[in-house]
Chains A and B, each alone.
Chain A
Amino acid sequence: MGRTLAEKVWDTHVVRAGGAGGEPDLLYIDLHLVHEVTSPQAFDGLRLAGRPVRRPDLTIATEDHNVPTQDIELPIADEVSATQVDTLRRNCAEFGVRLHPMGDAEQGIVHVMGPQLGLTQPGLTVVCGDSHTSTHGAFGALAFGIGTSEVEHVLATQTLPLRPFKTMAITVDSAETADGALPRGVTSKDIILAVIAKIGTGGGQGYVLEYRGSAIESLSMEARMTICNMSIEAGARAGMIAPDETTFDYLEGRPHAPQGADWDDAVEYWRSLRTDGDATFDAEVHIDADSLVPFVTWGTNPGQGLPLSERVPDPGGITDDGERITVEKALSYMDLMPGTPLREIAVDTVFLGSCTNGRIEDLRAAAGVLRGRSVRDGLRMLVVPGSMQVRAQAEAEGLHEVFTAAGAQWRSAGCSMCLGMNPDQLAPGERAASTSNRNFEGRQGKGGRTHLVSPLVAAATAVRGSLSAPDDLD
């Protein structure tokens, strides 16, 4: 019987098959990405046990979660953040791990750095102590987030004991267009928000999602990364997309991509990484691409989203007690009245950035909307490139001038306001339209309120002052 993409990648990485008694498979890890927040206790564990890093040459670190995005040449003001960054530097030096520190040309959010260096490749197993590691699945890699104990495990053994995931096909295609082109104003962010709203924040639990269909195939690599990135928000450990010409074109010539004869060997192998015609998935979901519209969230989890044209839902109409209470609590936290048109929700801050939407295409899309327009008076807009390389590219294209001319703040690379570990935070009660991935209570700052949006919606919202799509602008 045929195998799915995920099963093929899994099978080629089994070091030792699990035995009786439910013992898991031991899976080899090809690439381990490390950052300052989830690694200190792991390195400490190695030190205590007197263990080295088994494969420093399959490990790479960067500083992203904590780092300030302005005045980066100065010492980090927050002492605890500074300690964490210093600890990573000492650990990398001691254990021989390559590090791209703050200020380095390759520094950036760990999930932006891996692909831009060409380290993320089809068919690899990729892990990182960060749930958004699912991003790398856009290349046809099996990539997933792990906890700190597992970080230590991979550092020590380059393997992880794991039980196979179930597989779910998410097909997004169009009856109207052969090439799968998305309706005007719709981006891959809207696709994934629609998927999560459909299957729920627990719908993907235990599964690897494989996104397929003409609408997925039509997407650029960066747009595919946005979709795979948020697989975890549907509860899935990983999301994958089969590699194709778009993938190979993106990879060719990148620093760590194979070269010469190696490149030909690699591409030949990568072409085999497709779900077989006779393979079966454990679950299947279909999304009609023609029906997609710009999506925004109104609540406190990423599944609480609706088309921008809709209204804030009314919990009164929900019969299930648990579900009604959940919606009531979300609306209370978000300070929203049922029935309010989503387009009338005014925001204080717009955040453009994160591992979800902080790549060059995202900045280009937002700049396209902001060119010749201004951020509404009194509204603050932060533009935080996903990496220093994205920042340099944007500056080479003059995008930074578009942002600053419109009144937005142009920052250095990092996770920034996506999770507010650095000084970029929402104040209590402040409301944001954010291109990031989580609208949990307090995620972007204690008491802060988050609406998840695409870069196009973020930019239009910055201009109009309330949740908007570019078509709403004059």
Chain B
Amino acid sequence: MQPFTRHTGVGVPLRRSNVDTDTIIPAVYLKRVSRTGFADGLFSAWRAEQDFVLNSEPFRSGSVLVAGPDFGTGSSREHAVWALSDYGFRVVISSRFADIFRGNAGKQGLLAAQCEQPDVELLWKLLDSEPGTQVTVDLTEKTVQAKDLTVSFSIDDYTRWRLLEGLDDIGLSMRYSEAIADFEIARPSWMPTTTPVRGG
């Protein structure tokens, strides 16, 4: 994973709440067996509508998405994160993220920055009145800055550290292989195993 410290890019106001992962990427696009190539499916139904924000310049080339509350609800599909990243987004700002989406984003280097809703409204206002405004998101300082506006965001310390360092979760857990093996020895023998196959 690439370390994330600071990013500057065009902010995109997405004035919708409850943006579910089916909307971010519909199921028909989930059939690929790779992690790339999902940008085509990003918001596909909405992009078919002419007035959707990503269909106009300068938002088309945006990289900081500013969305309404409850972003990423529903399906656990990590493809939603892959699609956003593949399109070019590095940051999503919302006042509330669905748990699984936030976890998935943190694994893939997409920053899910949680701002207070009034601050989201201020950003929306600015991005709408001055389309193309560059937004700088600083993970070290935990701030979002655009023109004269600077607001803070929250993110849990552990995810922040992992993103700043670009660390891979599996490698981190593997440091505890011995503890895992000890735990396994202590598990009750009656706990279920999938093999050998029984019954059927």
Q: Is B149 an interface residue (CB 8 A)?
A: no
Q: Which residues of B contact A45 (CB under 8 A)?
A: 170
Q: Is B23 an interface residue (CB 8 A)?
A: yes
Pick from B32, B180, B189: contact of A159, CB under 8 Å: B180
**Quick check: B173 and A205 within 8 Å, CB to CB?**
no
Distance to closest chain B CB from A262 (angstroms): 4
Q: Is A421 an interface residue (CB 8 A)?
A: yes
Distance to closest chain B CB from A318 (angstroms): 13
User: Interface 1/0s, chain A 191-226, versus B by CB < 8 A?
Assistant: 000000000011001100000000000000000000
Q: Which residues of B contact A57 (CB under 8 A)?
A: 193-195
**Quick check: B99 and A119 within 8 Å, CB to CB?**
no
Q: Is B118 an interface residue (CB 8 A)?
A: no
User: Interface 1/0s, chain B 26-40, versus A by CB < 8 A?
Assistant: 111011111100000
Complex: chain B residue closest to A33, CB-CB: B194
**Quick check: A301 and B174 within 8 Å, CB to CB?**
no
Distance to closest chain A CB from B89 (angstroms): 17
**Quick check: A41 and B33 within 8 Å, CB to CB?**
yes
Distance to closest chain B CB from A219 (angstroms): 24
**Quick check: A148 and B27 within 8 Å, CB to CB?**
no
**Quick check: A15 and B156 within 8 Å, CB to CB?**
no
Distance to closest chain B CB from A251 (angstroms): 10
Q: Is B45 an interface residue (CB 8 A)?
A: yes
Q: Is B157 an interface residue (CB 8 A)?
A: yes
Complex: chain B residue closest to A330, CB-CB: B18
Q: How far is the CA of A49 from the CA of B74 in the complex (A)?
A: 30
Q: Is A22 an interface residue (CB 8 A)?
A: yes
User: Interface 1/0s, chain A 84-114, versus B by CB < 8 A?
Assistant: 1001000000000010000001100000000
Docked complex: B51-94 residues within 8 A CB-CB of A: 68-70, 73-79, 81
User: Interface 1/0s, chain B 99-143, versus A by CB < 8 A?
Assistant: 110011001100000000000000000000000000000000000
Q: How far is the CA of A149 from the CA of B82 in the complex (A)?
A: 11
Complex: chain B residue closest to A163, CB-CB: B156
Distance to closest chain B CB from A330 (angstroms): 9
Q: Is A58 an interface residue (CB 8 A)?
A: yes
Q: Is B164 an interface residue (CB 8 A)?
A: no
Most buried by A among B190, B191, B192, B198: B192
Distance to closest chain A CB from B52 (angstroms): 13
**Quick check: B78 and A147 within 8 Å, CB to CB?**
yes
Which of A253-261, A352-360, A376-384 contacts its partner? A253-261
Q: Which residues of A contact B69 (CB under 8 A)?
A: 202
Q: Which residues of A contact B98 (CB under 8 A)?
A: 202, 205, 235
Pick from A41, A65, A156, A421: contact of B174, CB under 8 Å: A156
Q: Which residues of A contact B79 (CB under 8 A)?
A: 148
Distance to closest chain A CB from B63 (angstroms): 21
Binding site for A on B (CB under 8 A): 15-18, 20, 22-23, 26-28, 30-35, 45, 68-70, 73-79, 81, 96, 98-100, 103-104, 107-108, 156-158, 161, 169-170, 172-174, 176-177, 179-180, 183-184, 187-195, 197-200
10 tightest A-B CB contacts, nearest first: A255-B199, A22-B157, A147-B104, A149-B107, A147-B78, A262-B190, A40-B33, A145-B76, A80-B31, A148-B78
Between A and B, 23 residue pairs with Cβ closer than 8 Å are A15-B176, A16-B176, A22-B156, A41-B34, A57-B193, A57-B194, A84-B33, A117-B199, A117-B200, A119-B192, A119-B194, A121-B192, A131-B76, A147-B103, A148-B79, A161-B169, A235-B99, A266-B188, A301-B73, A329-B16, A419-B27, A438-B74, A440-B20
